Structure 1
């Protein structure tokens, strides 16, 4: 019994380690008070000010704190999403996906903000805005699940998520939403290198359902007022992608049947 439990926990060891670290750090910051928390967030932020000073350690440290102190609220959904990915892809690929999303989206957003400030499109104060959290890495992991989605549902999955992320990024007023769209896209692109022969058990479907809810919370949470537009747009895109795929499959089958008839 204990050996079986230990074996199951070992399969999601990265998820457990990261979740435990987040819980411990959040608890310590809660005990130390808001002033200490603000200083820690400011020190670990991957904003242009810190990156410009060569504080590259923020690229790692920023993944272990949240600016608003929402770690306890986000942790259950995050753990389910990461656990599912670790069961599907194993620990090494989970780390690869999370790191690509967190580092890649952070650096791309930073480069975009620097260019926008230099061109006068954004005020210099943006360079000092806090940018910490786990959302970039988590959304990249969500994107990699594309490889595990059955082929007939994959266009709907990609179309729905990408549309929702883009609508929030365009209609929202937070540059974090742009980072979310970038991270999700990086994860989807990375999924092209992943292969999954695992079956969708009820347990994994439950983790997927929670992961989807967590992903939606991440996307629309930065601009809640955009949710009434972004969510219907995502659903519409998913339905359109499903219809387009079915239409394409039907035409392909019809063409093959016609060729077979002519050959006969």
Structure 2
């Protein structure tokens, strides 16, 4: 077999989950673009994982909603999503990527739905929120961002976590909607899932580039809006520096204790 073709086939096999998901999402998005407004809105309502659909037993929305993305032009978000998923698949493998994505998408959806149901019952929120549209891949994507924590060298993990959770706190403090809360929940679930992976990859230039582009996409998902983007970057950087500083002090303290022992 030709070496170029052989290398291409190997690359496709290593990225089959990412490529399969990208093809399905692209196909669904292309069909949605060609729909008339009424049919488009009906699809969104039918696929939404909102309280109305879940309370009526439409659990299929937990799967279908991940493939229905209503986030503007596909050319703006699909490349970043592919970079993020590909970084995780090359690092952890396909089945771990699927596990992470499903855990974030389904887990965050159900936890947010439980919170919304409680808030509506206590009259903290209007009952109209039960029909709010909720589709897309953002929960799964944020879980993948969180899962990449365990793939980083240990010395970088505190700064990575400090950045993401500081930025998330700013977004929520700015009067976030329930989807923003869901992003933070999914991020946390991804971090927790990754603690069971036990993988220490060798970071090549390609993987670093994919991680950088994918993380940038994840940040844009988290900080949806110019104000959130600016404050998220500022406080995220502060959180990264603070976390890294504390980790450094702890390491120095441990090093000083060793001679005494």
Flag the 1:26–1:37 CA change in 2: closer, same or farther, 3 A.
same
Q: Is contact 2:25–2:69 with CA below 8 Å preserved after alignment?
A: no
Q: Which runs of 5+ in 2 are unaligned?
A: none
Q: Which whole-Å CA distance do the structure 1 matches of 2:75 and 2:137 have between them?
A: 12
* Cα deviation, residue 114, structure 1: 0.4
* Cα deviation, residue 143, structure 1: 0.6
Which residue of structure 2 aligns with residue 198 of structure 1? 201
Aligned 1:78-157 pairs, distance under 5 A: 78-157=81-160
Q: Which whole-Å CA distance do the structure 2 matches of 1:178 and 1:122 have between them?
A: 15
Aligned 1:1-264 pairs, distance under 5 A: 1-221=4-224, 223-259=225-261
Flag the 1:120–1:70 CA change in 2: closer, same or farther, 3 A.
farther
Q: Give the RMSD, CA atoms, in angstroms.
A: 1.2
Q: Which whole-Å CA distance do the structure 2 matches of 1:202 and 1:34 have between them?
A: 44
Q: Which whole-Å CA distance do the structure 1 matches of 2:45 and 2:70 have between them?
A: 9
Which residue of structure 2 aligns with residue 262 of structure 1? none
Q: Which whole-Å CA distance do the structure 2 matches of 1:70 and 1:58 have between them?
A: 23
* Cα deviation, residue 70, structure 1: 4.2
Does 13-22 or 60-69 show the bigger shift?
Answer: 60-69
SS, match of residue 93 in structure 2: helix
Q: Which runs of 5+ in 1 are unaligned?
A: 260-264
Q: Which whole-Å CA distance do the structure 2 matches of 1:12 and 1:128 have between them?
A: 36
User: TM-score, normalized by length of structure 1?
Assistant: 0.94
* Cα deviation, residue 253, structure 1: 0.8
Runs of 4+ residues over 4 Å off in structure 1: none
SS, match of residue 193 in structure 1: coil
Flag the 1:68–1:252 CA change in 2: closer, same or farther, 3 A.
closer
User: TM-score, normalized by length of structure 2?
Assistant: 0.95
* Cα deviation, residue 163, structure 1: 1.6
Q: Is contact 1:89–1:196 with CA below 8 Å preserved after alignment?
A: yes
Q: Is contact 1:26–1:72 with CA below 8 Å preserved after alignment?
A: no
* Deviation per residue, 1:33-58 (Å, 9 max, x gap): 33322111111001111111111111
Q: Is contact 1:169–1:175 with CA below 8 Å preserved after alignment?
A: no
Q: Which whole-Å CA distance do the structure 1 matches of 2:63 and 2:80 have between them?
A: 21
**Number of aligned residue pairs:** 258
* Cα deviation, residue 83, structure 1: 0.7
